[in-house]
Amino acid sequence: MFVSILKSVVRVGSLRLIDASGRIHMVGDGTVPCATVRLCSRRLAYSLAANPSLAIGEAYMDNLLTVEEGTIYDFLEILARNYAPSSHPWLSLLERISRGLKQRNPTGRARRNVAHHYDLSGELYDLFLDRDRQYSCAYFERADDTLEVAQERKKQHIAAKLLLDRPGLRILDIGSGWGGLGLYLAREACADVTGVTLSAEQHQASQARTAEADLAERVRFYLRDYREEGGRYDRVVSIGMFEHVGKRNYAEFFGKLHDLLVEDGIALVHTIGYSDAPGPISPFIRKHIFPGADLPSLSEITAAAERSGLIITDIEVLRLHYAETLHHWRKRFVAHWNDAARLYDERFCRMWEFYLALCEVGFRHRTNVVFQVQLARRLDAVPIIRDYIVDWERHGHQPARCDVSGAVTLRR
Q: Who contacts 230 (Cβ-Cβ below 8 Å, separation ≥6)?
A: none
Other C-beta atoms lying within 10 Å of the C-beta of residue 145: 17
Distance CA 266, CA 169 (A): 11
CA–CA separation, 253 and 242 (whole Å): 8
Enumerate the β-bridge partners of residue 373: 269, 315
Phi, psi of 407 (to 5 degrees): -70, 145
Can you give the three-state secondary structure of 40-101, one letter per residue?
Answer: CCCCHHHHHHHCHHHHHHHHHHCCCEEEEECCHHHHHHHHHHHCCHHHCHHHHHHHHHHHCC
> What SS3 class is residue 216?
coil
Query: Is-contact 236 172, C-beta < 8 A?
Result: yes
Burial of 94 (0-12, 13-18, 19+ CB in 10 A): middle
CA 273 to chain centre: 9
Long-range contacts from 326-331, C-beta under 8 angstroms, 24+ separation: 326/356, 326/359, 326/360, 326/363, 327/360, 328/128, 328/138, 328/147, 329/128, 329/129, 329/147, 329/356, 330/73, 330/128, 330/356, 330/357, 330/360
Show the DSSP H helices in 231-376 as ranges: 250-260, 283-284, 298-308, 321-335, 337-343, 346-365
What do you get for the CA distance between the two ends of the chain, in Å? Answer: 68
The helix or strand, by DSSP H or E, that contains position 204, with its residue range, turns out to be: helix 200-212
Q: List, by residue number, the catalytic residues.
A: 359
In residues, how long is the chain? Answer: 412
CB atoms within 10 A of CB 357: 24
